[in-house]
Structure 1
């Protein structure tokens, strides 16, 4: 499961769920939530069916006893294996590192989030295992890596990935109530299927967003270096605009083919945002952002428009960033101008495609400062 490189209870949306490290207690909490899933799930696209409770023996058999040859990814949560369950379905099985309470909490958060949330652009949870000290999550298997190991992505595919990821975030922010803040959006958490349809994964750091008159939730700063919004890092105040900033970094990676932070680059180019600032929203220099591997095969007008959207997402002031619904609409417009060989020499527009994209919510967001 490597790649590019929730809702509330009706009675009390902020009610906390108590649990212990004991496997029976943790498993019972998950089972209870699964039974109440239909009441918890917000309106949205549903995958049907519930999360299955697996035994450790079943998942060991599915992965050939967690054989190294079946290892497909490794991260902060633990290791991810490719496996085959009894139904014959190919799955991805994520095994938690045995590093104490923090891991169990992230396991619980991710399990509950994916039980309750369903959308085409969110990875589907097939099941889980909480047995002894073992914590495992079973997902649908996503076959593609981003960036692919074979050849670079073309422009149209990059826009397809950006649009799908934006739709997933829009669902979390605007459909789910209270909103869900993803908090760890990065290219490595965007999984792709055989047709490069993207799905957001890894919800262990997700948080319920502010409700009512609250403008943020205060929390310990967590995330991935290079993707976190500077205002969140400085203050610990988290809101949906923190995700918008992270999405802007992912857009930059798609445009440039560079990583958010690359220590192999020269000092002034290691941080992607620092390197790209002079080119964003500059009608004379924006083409320098384009990934050289695209070899000029992209529509100049659409590239300029996407660079403007990216610049808005990366605004230092959170209330000046657009909402994800605005971003999705903008990328949808960019996607309506696909690259067609021989027609990529159009002049970029004099004005950004979304010049006032965030004006509709500036007044209500000003209090975030």
Structure 2
């Protein structure tokens, strides 16, 4: 690349010199044509001759002034040409590099370049966000770490591929998401996730350890979250048995913290656009982290219309589903659905139920606002384990979050501050538990395994 630049610069300089010489030659030719015939044969004269012939001296002086003026014009023209040509050259290389970055920015990974060389091409976040070191990993290493992508190592499956447990040489563990196929949607989600997670650093957002591009296969390597997803904990074989009332509130609080960081502390702000219980991962202590940023969108706080509909039915806000309008309040709606899952133990959509009861929102709203009915629809695992006053408060937050009109929904910051007083201090909140509290006897840090 540098040799190419030097080559073009040499051509530019030589061209400018040639143009300058041509300009001088042109001026000389003009002088020969425009000068009077007598000036072509006038012999040298001294000052004494000028004294006797003032007309000749004056004509000669004017001729030199005219020649100098032409020289200045020629020099200025050549200098202007140099500046124009140099500007065109810079424009050409910038345009060329810009096209390359938009068309195949992730091809750099194939050459083993550091991630920081192309992450900077995306919009930068605020100065408080520190870029982390994300490794470009070799396919062979990931193949060995996952036992050749054996089925026994599968942790789950997403829209574009499977997730495998990986054990590396240093005895550390990770989760490898393998995206097979080269569809435009898959490629775009891969690029978005790498770009965002390389710049985001927050306790409640998943850590991206590395990535790999091997032919048509692309892989993302995350920290391993031992307890799986909130979806598998709530709706799997255990049916939420490990999730006490306070643990559920802590998961909700952790999720709200992650969303608040995206909405309020990233510059530009980020809309997750696919918040759901399967994208909330839990570590061995049931700390929650947001994952799967493939559909995330920057500049989210600006109202965006006619964005391609993406997400998961049951979590998609009605204004986005019906009108294509996407704002940060769309994430707040999805958070409200997750909060209802934690509260009621039901899935967002129950296709086996009758039409009026399939959606958790339409089924629950009339009962959430009726204090006599609310205790009866709570998940049986946590029923009668909480202070009813706290139950009503959480239900009120959920109702506000799933309002059909976006302007009626609270900001995620307001949700966060509403939950903090309901979570015990040991779990990151401000609630002080007394010995006679309904949940005081429960193990706040109960592990799944």
Q: So what's the TM-score if we normalise by structure 1?
A: 0.81
Q: Is the 8 A contact 1:299 1:337 kept in 2?
A: no
- For 1:70, the equivalent position in structure 2 comes to 153
- Measured in 2, the distance between the counterparts of 1:341 and 1:282 equals 29
How far off its partner does 1:277 sit? 1.2
Match of 1:58 among 120, 125, 141: 141
How far off its partner does 1:290 sit? 1.2
Structure 1 residues 344 and 201: alpha-carbon distance in aligned structure 2, compared to 1, 3 A threshold: same
- Measured in 1, the distance between the counterparts of 2:375 and 2:268 equals 40
- Measured in 2, the distance between the counterparts of 1:89 and 1:71 equals 17
- For 1:294, the equivalent position in structure 2 comes to 382
- For 1:197, the equivalent position in structure 2 comes to 287
Match of 2:367 among 279, 284, 287: 279
Q: What SS does the corresponding residue of 1:237 show, helix, strand or coil?
A: coil
- Measured in 1, the distance between the counterparts of 2:375 and 2:331 equals 26
- Deviation string, structure 1 residues 2-36 (Cα, Å, up to 9, x no partner): xxxxxxxxxxxxx9961349844787695523478
Q: What SS does the corresponding residue of 1:223 show, helix, strand or coil?
A: coil
Structure 1 residues 130 and 298: alpha-carbon distance in aligned structure 2, compared to 1, 3 A threshold: same
2:267 equivalent to 1:153: no
- For 1:10, the equivalent position in structure 2 comes to none
- Measured in 2, the distance between the counterparts of 1:291 and 1:228 equals 23
Q: Is the 8 A contact 1:170 1:325 kept in 2?
A: yes
Match of 2:164 among 71, 81, 84: 81
- For 2:258, the equivalent position in structure 1 comes to 168
- For 1:319, the equivalent position in structure 2 comes to 407
Q: Is the 8 A contact 1:20 1:26 kept in 2?
A: no
- Measured in 2, the distance between the counterparts of 1:114 and 1:168 equals 13
Larger radius of gyration between Structure 1 and Structure 2 = 2
- For 1:328, the equivalent position in structure 2 comes to 416
How far off its partner does 1:50 sit? 0.4
Q: Is the 8 A contact 2:109 2:213 kept in 1?
A: no
Long gaps (5+) in structure 2: 1-97, 424-429, 440-449
2:274 equivalent to 1:180: no
- Measured in 2, the distance between the counterparts of 1:26 and 1:248 equals 41
More helix by share: 2
Q: Is the 8 A contact 2:132 2:199 kept in 1?
A: no
Structure 1 residues 328 and 134: alpha-carbon distance in aligned structure 2, compared to 1, 3 A threshold: same
Q: What SS does the corresponding residue of 1:127 show, helix, strand or coil?
A: strand
Q: Is the 8 A contact 1:216 1:238 kept in 2?
A: yes
Structure 1 residues 328 and 219: alpha-carbon distance in aligned structure 2, compared to 1, 3 A threshold: same
Q: What SS does the corresponding residue of 1:228 show, helix, strand or coil?
A: coil
- Measured in 1, the distance between the counterparts of 2:283 and 2:246 equals 16
How far off its partner does 1:87 sit? 2.9
- For 1:18, the equivalent position in structure 2 comes to 102
- Measured in 1, the distance between the counterparts of 2:142 and 2:337 equals 36
Match of 1:32 among 106, 113, 117: 117
